[in-house]
């Protein structure tokens, strides 16, 4: 592969950091698919641009609706992909999507122990710590200790469930609605929902901390 890809229609997208072995493999497969005419460079660019447009704001919109609409929350817990489609959000990943609810008795935290499987269609790109070996290995064996490092301390009577995201399934955590938000509308509520709270390593913001 040439150093200067500007005139190469099969060139992968530019990287602003040293490539990992995984990224090199992705680029090689991408170049081969383009060479064989299965996809075009424009197909790749459009897919990247569409993914780049995704952010935790989409997930926050879903959570805010679940907080104000119990019937919607029930549908979200029963069939997450179908429920988010009601809000005009298309989850294009082939993996199944499951919503789980954190309560006073049960707390869910999500990890991908093998790599970085993540609901990118709702939350955008995963944070670096989510992909790190440190998080992936430790949260399984010491979830309370890891959560404490994130600033989240749970009572001893709260059951902690670690959910392992895989190539076949993704998870969205519904954090508890903060107290004192009864008069807030959905847009205001969505501003309280953080990416980390939808992974389960933090609570949603309270109005006083906005």
Report which of 179, 202, 187 is spatially closest to residue 65, judged by C-alpha positions: 187
The Cα 95–Cα 105 span in angstroms is 28
DSSP state letter for 178: P
Spot the catalytic one: 112, 132, 165, 191. Answer: 112
112 classed as catalytic: yes
Is 115 labeled as catalytic in the residue annotation? Answer: yes
DSSP count for the chain of H helices, then E strands: 11, 4
56 contacts: CB under 8 Å, gap ≥ 6: 122, 123, 124, 193, 194, 195, 198
Residue 162: strand, helix, or coil: strand
Catalytic residue among 55, 115, 132, 137: 115
91 vs 14, 49, 86, CA distance in Å? 26, 15, 11
Query: Catalytic: 165?
Result: no
In angstroms, rounded to a whole number, what is the distance separating the alpha carbons of residues 122 and 102?
18
- Whether residue 191 lies in the annotated active site: no
- Which is catalytic among the residues 116, 132, 191, 197? 116
Catalytic residues: 112, 115-117
């Amino acid at each position: 592969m040439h150093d200067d890809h500007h005139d190469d229609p099969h060139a992968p997208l530019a990287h602003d950091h040293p490539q990992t072995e995984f990224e090199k493999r992705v680029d090689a497969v991408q170049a081969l698919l383009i060479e064989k005419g299965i996809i075009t460079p424009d197909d790749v660019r459009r897919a990247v641009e569409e993914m780049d447009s995704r952010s935790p704001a989409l997930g926050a919109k879903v959570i805010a609706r679940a907080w104000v609409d119990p019937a919607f929350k029930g549908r979200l817990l029963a069939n997450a992909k179908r429920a988010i489609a009601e809000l005009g959000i298309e989850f294009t990943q082939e993996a199944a999507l499951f919503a789980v609810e954190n309560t006073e008795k049960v707390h869910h935290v999500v990890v991908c122990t093998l790599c970085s499987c993540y609901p990118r269609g709702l939350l955008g790109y995963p944070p670096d710590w989510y992909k790190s070996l440190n998080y992936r290995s430790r949260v399984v064996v010491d979830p309370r200790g890891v959560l404490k490092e994130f600033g989240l301390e749970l009572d001893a009577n709260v059951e902690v469930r670690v959910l392992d995201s895989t190539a076949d399934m993704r998870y969205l955590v519904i954090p508890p609605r903060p107290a004192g938000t009864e008069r807030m509308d959905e847009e205001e509520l969505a501003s309280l929902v953080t990416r980390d709270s939808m992974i389960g390593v933090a609570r949603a913001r309270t109005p006083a901390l906005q």
